[in-house]
């Protein structure tokens, strides 16, 4: 009998979140998804896999996405789990508590 280990799938299957901001940007105008795939030199299928969270977006593509969107989707949004570590200069800095 085959037993499926869900804890292993949980770690592997959920490694990349959906890129909601990029999905919204691409959906706002017809043809944007095709244009982005072409500008990144990747297939639309591969782009769809990254958008849906099936594959993480390679870090080297994130600045290109940021440029394509005119900054509407910054590179850290393309790698929400580790973007702050990859580009520490772009990470939001914690606010110091006010001393009242």
CA 24, CA 59: separation in Å to the nearest integer?
Answer: 20
User: Given phi > 0 = left and psi -120 to 50 = alpha, else beta, which region is 31?
Assistant: left
What is the pLDDT averaged over residues 56-85?
94
The whole model's pTM is what?
A: 0.74
For residue range 46-55, list pLDDT tens digits in order.
999 999 999 9
pLDDT at position 66 over 70: yes
For residue range 22-38, list pLDDT tens digits in order.
999 999 999 999 999 99
Which tokens sit at 56?
Answer: 């993480």
Q: What is the mean pLDDT of the chain?
A: 83
CATH architecture of 14-83: Orthogonal Bundle (1.10)
């Amino acid at each position: 009998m085959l037993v499926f280990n869900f804890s292993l799938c949980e770690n592997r299957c959920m490694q990349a979140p959906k890129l909601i901001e990029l999905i919204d940007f691409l959906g706002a105008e017809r043809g944007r998804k095709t244009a982005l795939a072409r500008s990144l030199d990747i297939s639309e299928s591969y782009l769809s896999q990254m958008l849906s969270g099936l594959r993480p977006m390679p870090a080297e593509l994130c600045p290109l996405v940021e440029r394509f969107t005119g900054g509407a989707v910054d590179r850290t949004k393309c790698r929400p789990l580790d973007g702050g570590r990859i580009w520490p200069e772009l990470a939001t800095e914690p606010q110091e508590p006010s001393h009242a």
